[in-house]
Amino acid sequence: MSLTSLYILFPLILTIGFGSSSEEHDALPLNYLQVRPGSSSFKIALFADLHFGESAWSDWGPLQDVNSIKVMSVVLDQETPADFVVYLGDVITANNIAIGNASLYWEEAISPTRARGIPWASVFGNHDDAPFEWPLEWFSATGIPHTRCTLPNSSVSGEEECSFRGTRRIELMENEIKQNNLSYSINGPKDLWPSISNFVLQVSSSQDPDSAVALLYFLDSGGGSYPEVISSSQAEWFNRKSQELNPSSSVPEMIFWHIPSKAYKKVAPKLGIHKPCVGSINKEDVATQEAEMGIMKLLVKRPSVKAVFVGHNHGLDWCCPYEKLWLCFARHTGYGGYGNWARGARILEITQQPFSLKSWIRMEDGQLHSEVVLSS
């Protein structure tokens, strides 16, 4: 679906999301996904660093969004049936988006998943609500062409139809939840800062929705309007929720956020990727959060935590062991953002009886590589 089509269809979308507002978060029962009847496994695709809306005023920008849709479509068609999708941050490049409602680009980014009827959840990256940056070329002799800011069917051009304040995290999340009945994203508890994309989902047995196969925790690692950090408040929230939901650590847990913690730098491969690490590209240094405020200490103490999954670094796709868990990068999925490495997506497969967690990378050309077992 094109961005123009989204402008036309946006007022007609009337579905209500499964997510909750921050005020309702603590009162609602735990949202759950379920292994399909007759299946023994649950498959998740991670889409990282799509960067929709980047350079939207050029010929190149819209084309890269089309190419990103093709990558996601190939992955979802090759991995059929995919049970769930995680949008792992930097869904859009807000610092390049001159319109007031960046959710229009967000809706375009989730369109391949929605079109296939696959549920999903989102966490934020450092670009999703970054402040708008005026392109230098806009100050050339030709000025700003109407197509850069004017909404379709509008008779007004220039700044009157533009909003350069950006779209806040809370607006992006509320719009996703409100407009999509397949979204499992949640605004997070109102007393948590930052609160927006911090939530937990349960993957339930195919036989019994009350029987947990795994718990999926989502955390906002900041950036954009926040410092690039998982705060001590978020760490305390994770500790409280994990003790409440999984006091005996008997249910396997997986963690998702965007910007790698400093622990990733400790285990990063030197030069090539060698065992016990598994992956195919190691082309840059790990760009970590600004500080470590306790989340990793909590994770390594829980034997139920199997792996952490992040995006952010486009030139890294490895998984490496750290203490008794694994630290994994997704694969750069979008044509937006820096780097020309081939695009793809990390796939997770949870098997319920006995539990196992396997992962691999599915590329845009359909090839599969970097298989690894993360449950040992």
What is the tens place of the pLDDT at every residue in 202-246? 999 999 999 999 999 999 999 988 999 999 999 999 999 999 999
| Size of the chain, expressed as the number of residues it contains | 376
- Please tell me what DSSP assigns to residue 305: E
Confidence of residue 162 (pLDDT cuts 50, 70, 90): low
What is the structure's pLDDT at 16? 26
For the purposes of burial, counting CB atoms within 10 Å of the CB of 234, is it exposed (0-12), middle (13-18) or buried (19 or more)?
Answer: buried
Percent of the chain at pLDDT > 90 equals 73
- Could you tell me the pLDDT band of residue 370, with boundaries at 50, 70 and 90? very high
Contact by Cβ (8 Å): 40, 208 = no
- Report the percent of the chain where pLDDT is more than 70: 86
Rounded to an integer, the average pLDDT of 58-62 is 88
pLDDT at residue 45 greater than cutoff 60: yes
Residue with tokens 């909750």: 20
- Fold (CATH) for 32-133+162-373: Purple Acid Phosphatase; chain A, domain 2 (3.60.21)
* Choice among 4-18, 268-282, 334-348 with the minimum mean pLDDT: 4-18
What pLDDT sits at residue 145?
Answer: 57
The DSSP result for 96-110, as a single string, is: G--SS-THHHHHHHT
Residues 6+ apart with CB under 8 A from 283: 315, 316, 339, 341
Better-scored residue on pLDDT, 236 or 154: 236
* Cβ neighbours, 10 Å, residue 115: 12
Bond into 119 cis (ω within 30): no
Position 219 scores a pLDDT of 96
**Cα dihedral 67→69→74→79 (10° resolution):** 150
Least confident range from 144-153, 205-214, 269-278: namely 144-153
What pLDDT is attached to residue 100? Answer: 79
Going by pLDDT thresholds of 50, 70 and 90, the confidence category of residue 161 is: low
Give yes or no for residue 300 having a pLDDT over 70: yes
Candidates 228, 173, 229, 240; CA nearest to 200 is 240
Give dist(CA 40, CA 206) in Å, integer. Answer: 8
Residue 158 has pLDDT above 90, yes or no: no
* Predicted pLDDT at 54: 93
Mean pLDDT calculated for residue range 133-149: 70
Listed by start position, the domains of the chain span 32-133+162-373
Mean of pLDDT over the chain = 87
- pLDDT at position 157 is 47
Burial class of residue 320 (count of CB atoms within 10 Å of its CB; 0-12, 13-18, 19+): buried
> pLDDT at position 143, please?
67
Q: What is the pLDDT of residues 274-291, one digit of tens each?
A: 999 999 999 999 999 999
Is the pLDDT confidence value at 125 over 60? yes
- Residue with the bigger pLDDT between 345 and 192: it is 345
Give the pLDDT of residue 25.
37
